[in-house]
Amino acid sequence: MQIGISLSHLQLNELKIDLAYALNESIKCQFAFIRLSLYWDEIEKKPRTYDFSIIKKFLNFYQKNQQSIILTVGVKAQRWPEYYWPEHIEKKSLNNQKARKSLLQFIETSIKELKEYTCIKYWQLENEPLDPSGPNQEIIPLDFLKKEAKLIKNIDQRPIIITLWGNEIIKRDLLSKLTKITNHIGLDIYYKQFIGEIFAKSIYLRPLQSQKELKKHLAKFPNLNFWITELQAEPWEKNAEAYFSDHPKSISPQQLLKNFKQASLLGMDKIIFWGFEYCLWKKINGDDSYFKLIKEIKNS
């Protein structure tokens, strides 16, 4: 089984973790893949003026260290608020033709600019594009997603991954819509997700379908290659106070190991942990149990 992590400099900044430290710690673990994102709003602050300097710091480092990368391109990327619209886009909606044109131009420029990096092994197209998310609970329209995929394939032949929110994958029934776009599908699965409070008691939700139901559902699509692109390794809590508490209820080293064991039963050969930044933050603050556990899992 190949083990990887997602990594976002936005979250590193949020947790006040030095970038050089994070890069060095990530490479020590020798992960099969590290998943990065382009953030459109920081790359194209002015129309048709692109600055790839931040992502190139990552790519130059990982290229030098022969680390395989998955790079997310599009308007949706890792972390809240999901959609990273530049300020200069007046109507921030893909129902708007000008916004669509600008996004396609951004994707084209990005692929052409970065395709020389051989460390990039997969392009991830958007992040959970067909799942409603962000402040306005929007999706990437399927017709436009197809245009994005076609554009990438016309420029570069590396495979495309598309991700889906795995906790409700049977209910949403989206897999059949993706079979003609790509055969690499990533599932994002969280086994303990805060959803609300009842009488001041926090309530946590598991995936809506059982492991058995999910495995049976995926078997209906034998031509698709399934990954877990986000496996919970950080808290999902109601607020920052609960997130940064010593013992958040949604994650612990024991829960992290349980998450991995459950995910392993699905039979996928690639699992990417979500929350490596949190593991580093815990390590910096005197608790290296999360970091050690992910490293042990990778080496097992």
Contacts of 232 (CB under 8 A, 6+ apart): 189, 190, 191, 192, 193, 250, 251, 256, 259, 274, 275
Q: What percent of the chain has pLDDT over 70?
A: 100
Q: How far is CA 263 from the centre of its chain?
A: 16
Residue 264 structural domain: 2-299
pLDDT tens digit sequence for 239-288: 999 999 999 999 999 999 999 999 999 999 999 999 999 999 999 999 99
Q: Structural domain tally of the chain?
A: 1
Strand partners of residue 83: 76
Contacts of 57 (CB under 8 A, 6+ apart): 19
Average pLDDT on 69-73 reads 98
| CATH of residue 46 | 3.20.20.80
pLDDT tens digit sequence for 168-180: 999 999 999 999 9
**pLDDT higher than 90, residue 300:** no
What pTM, to 2 d.p., does this model score? 0.97
Nearest CA-CA partner of 102 in 128, 76, 138, 75:
75
